[in-house]
Amino acid sequence: MVGLKVRAMEEVVLRLKELLFPSIADIAVLSVDVNIEIVRVEAQCTTVGAACPGCGTWSTRVHSSFLRSPADAPSAGRGVLLQLRVRRFRCRSTMCARRTFVGQKPGLTRRYGQRTERLRSTLAAVGLALAGRAGARLASVLGVSISRSTVLRLVDALPEPEIPPRE
């Protein structure tokens, strides 16, 4: 009986991972807490190693771990409070000025990012369609609070569209 229950729980956790972090590898959902307004998701990066952003050396030596809470896109009409446990690695290179660094999750987080990549791209799309104040207003309807200058900054940070070479 207990074995069955554990299997059912594992199944639920796997489905949650698929639902909340599709196409993002090495991430485990630890818990999901839902109330009327907010979905609180506790997750953990399970990457065994990362490349140092300073010198590129691969490291699997975990220095420590800590919680990050990047703002995430709302889910099913509720705000999402993401609590992501990330690992700090030690750089193995003696030539490198950087002693430790944080392993990033491509597609989910970036250095110094206060938002997940999906929230960032949603807001940038809103900003492209409705710059500045109107964009900030629509974002607040979507349940995300953001200033008009931040909307514009996200649009500025988008890569330039590729112009096909003329024949």
Note the residues at the interface with Zn ion (CB under 5 A): 52, 54-55, 91, 93, 96, 98
Which residue lies nearer to Zn ion by CB, 96 or 138? 96
Helices (H) and strands (E) in the chain, counts: 4, 7
Compute the least distance from the CB of residue 102 to Zn ion, in Å: 12
Which residue lies nearer to Zn ion by CB, 93 or 150? 93
Question: Which residues have CB under 8 Å from 127's CB, separation 6+?
Answer: 135, 151, 152, 154, 155
Q: Angle at the Cα of 136 (from 135 to 137), degrees rounded to 5?
A: 90
d(CA 80, CA 20): 10
Compute the least distance from the CB of residue 5 to Zn ion, in Å: 45
Q: Which of 22, 24, 132, 144 is nearest to 80 (CA)?
A: 144
Which residue lies nearer to Zn ion by CB, 86 or 91? 91
Compute the least distance from the CB of residue 56 to Zn ion, in Å: 7
Compute the least distance from the CB of residue 47 to Zn ion, in Å: 17
Which residue lies nearer to Zn ion by CB, 29 or 52? 52
